[in-house]
Amino acid sequence: MLGVILDADSLGNDVDLSPITSLLDEWQVYPFTRPEDVADRIANADIVLSNKIRLEESNLGHADQLKFVSVIATGTNNIDFPAMAERGVVVSNARGYGTPSVVQHTLTMILMLSTNLHRYLSDVASGKWQKSDAFCLLHHPVQEVAGKKLGIVGYGELGKAVAAAVEALGMSVVVSERPGVEPRTGRLAFDDVLNTADYVSLHCPLTEDNEHMINKETLGLMKPGAHLINTARGGLVHSVDLVAALKEGVIAGAAIDVLDREPPPADDPLLEPLSNLIVTPHNAWGAIESRTRLIMQTRENIEGFLNGEPVRVVENS
């Protein structure tokens, strides 16, 4: 059997792929695959692994041997499920592998925003501290997170883990219901969370219903001193509206790990250098331990398929 990995570089160059590649006699491992090359590369494959490369009707036409696809991620919006179903191809994904890494990154963003750490690091690098008459610099606001309120939008495994972590720092947590939905017990209406939270952290999937849920109108509901954190999906936030809100002081700051297009074009609005905006390159999930768990889950997916008992099967997106 032939296995093909379409975008191995998305896993980093410091992970061991042998738990996967030892399962089949032949593998073709590509660092990255352009859309126009997908059809040729999967034409003779029995098993295909893809992180973000799209597998759809337009490139599946000659993949007559394809039997199994394992997405090396949780999100499966790069998979054409009707086309897979028509061909009898089983699709699996990975789940929960990156929770500790994303929680760690979310906490880092909250703490950086609360202490203005990024600004102080820049001041040291530019020599401002060295030229100061005082022994310390305190010209950027610093506040404690203890006693502050975190609003969580998306209360699955990640949201719950973030809640537990910030409570250890003395923060209180309010959980948002989906926008426009009557709140369940223990949750608040989305607008009420925006109105009351000092920090709002997004941990929900991107759907047709919540695209650009953070926009000019909803940003206007947030407290002027509030901060937004997004380690979920770029499409949840209207980039132009967020930049405008940061410039106009509608909210105090934002920390963003995900953009609409990745890698982003040079003119992406969120790449404009703003002192109250932190942008990281979609690496919240990227701890080596997280990526190692991802490899092991992918191995389990392949083993399950080969043994006739597929696991983590995704029926539709």
So what's the pLDDT on residue 53?
97
Residue 17 lies in a domain: yes
Mean confidence (pLDDT) of the chain = 96
**Across the strands, what pairs with 281?**
none
Domain identity same for 44 and 115: no
Mean pLDDT value across residues 27-50: 98
Mean pLDDT value across residues 95-101: 96
The pLDDT tens digits of the residues spanning 145-193 come to: 999 999 999 999 999 999 999 999 999 999 999 988 899 999 999 999 9
| Residue 12 DSSP SS3 | coil
Are 47 and 4 in contact, with CB atoms under 8 Å apart?
A: yes
Residue 314 lies in a domain: no
Our answer to whether residue 57 is catalytic in this structure is no
Adjacency order of strands within the sheet including 149-153: 172-175, 149-153, 199-202, 227-230, 253-256, 277-279
So what's the pLDDT on residue 219?
98
Residue 313 lies in a domain: no
So what's the pLDDT on residue 31?
97
Q: Which two structure tokens, joined as six digits, stand for 19?
A: 């738990």
pLDDT at 139 over 80: yes
pLDDT at 317 over 60: no
Question: Could you give the C-alpha distances from 137 to 130, 208, 252, 278, in angstroms and in order?
Answer: 10, 46, 20, 20
Q: Which run of H or E residues covers position 300?
A: helix 288-306
Domain identity same for 192 and 227: yes
In which domain, by residue range, is 234 found? 99-279
Residue 123 lies in a domain: yes
pLDDT at 56 over 70: yes
- Cβ count within 10 A of residue 132: 12
Mean pLDDT value across residues 286-313: 97
248 residue type, one letter = E
Identify the burial level of 252 via C-beta atoms within 10 angstroms of its C-beta, where 0-12 means exposed, 13-18 middle and 19 or more buried. Answer: buried
Q: What is the domain count for the chain?
A: 2
Domain identity same for 242 and 121: yes
Range of lowest pLDDT (32-41, 179-188, 285-294): 179-188
Q: Label each residue of 214-282 as H, E or C.
A: ECHHHHCCCCCCCEEEECCCHHHECHHHHHHHHHHCCCCEEEECCCCCCCCCCCCHHHCCCCCEEECCC
Domain identity same for 137 and 89: no
Domain identity same for 161 and 272: yes
Q: pLDDT exceeding 90 applies to what percent of the chain? A: 96
Domain identity same for 183 and 218: yes
pLDDT at 316 over 90: no
Task: Determine which one of 178, 203, 233, 238 is catalytic.
Answer: 233
Rounded CA-CA distance 56/48 in Å is 13
pLDDT at 271 over 90: yes
Domain identity same for 78 and 10: yes
Domain identity same for 90 and 104: no
So what's the pLDDT on residue 218?
98
Rounded CA-CA distance 256/270 in Å is 9
From the list 125, 206, 86, the residue with the least C-alpha distance to 117 is 125
Our answer to whether residue 233 is catalytic in this structure is yes
Give the CATH number, domain containing residue 199: 3.40.50.720
Residue 58 lies in a domain: yes
Q: Which two structure tokens, joined as six digits, stand for 69?
A: 């696809």
Task: Determine which one of 140, 282, 300, 303 is catalytic.
Answer: 282
Bigger pLDDT: 82 vs 208? 82
Residue 31 lies in a domain: yes
Task: Determine which one of 144, 262, 272, 289 is catalytic.
Answer: 262
Mean pLDDT value across residues 299-308: 98
Our answer to whether residue 282 is catalytic in this structure is yes
Mean pLDDT value across residues 282-308: 97
So what's the pLDDT on residue 142?
97
Domain identity same for 32 and 113: no
So what's the pLDDT on residue 208?
87
Strands 277-279, 253-256: pairing is parallel
